Amino acid sequence: MKYSEARPGRIFVVRLEDGEIVHETLEGFARQHGIAAASLLLLGGADDGSTLVVGPEKDRELPLVAMEKRLTHAHEVAGVGTIFSDEEGQPLLHLHMACGRGEEAVVGCIRPGVRVWRVMEVIVSELHDCQARRVVEEPLGLKLLRP
C-alpha cells in the first residue's frame, strides 16, 4: 500500500448538459478552475452510444486489451471517480459508472466516452496539499495513481 495525505478544498456543484462528453467536460472544468486533485460523485443519465471499458480481455496477460460495451438507449447512472494531474500537469479523470436500463446493468470505466443524456449532476470535492499524480507505469503502460 502507498498513500499520501491531503486536506479538503473547494466543493463544486456541477450540472452537465445534454450531449456533453463526461470526461472531456470535467477535465476541462478542472483545468479552468485549477483543480489538480479531487474526488467526484455523479448521477444522471448516459445517452445511447456511450461506451465503457468493462475489463481486460484476459485477466493477467500483457499487453492489456480492453473490452468495451456500447450502451443501447439511455441509461440511468451513478458514478464515483477521482481527478489527479499527470506528469505534465494535465488533470485526468478516472471514473467508474454503473449504468442501468430495465433489467440490465453494466459497470465500467467511462474513458472511451460517455455522453450525457439530458443532465448529470456532479459533486467535485477538491483536495488541497495533495502530492498524488498520475504517472505512466510499465508494464501496463497506464497512467496510474502515485500517492
93 burial via Cβ count (<10 Å: 0-12, 13-18, 19+): buried
pLDDT in tens, the chain (147 residues): 999 999 999 999 999 999 999 999 999 999 999 999 999 999 999 999 999 999 999 999 999 999 999 999 999 999 999 999 999 999 999 999 999 999 999 999 999 999 999 999 999 999 999 999 999 999 999 999 999
Domains of the chain: 7-131 (3.30.1330.80)
Spatial separation of the C-alpha atoms in residues 29 and 133, rounded to whole Å:
18
Task: Read off the pTM.
Answer: 0.96
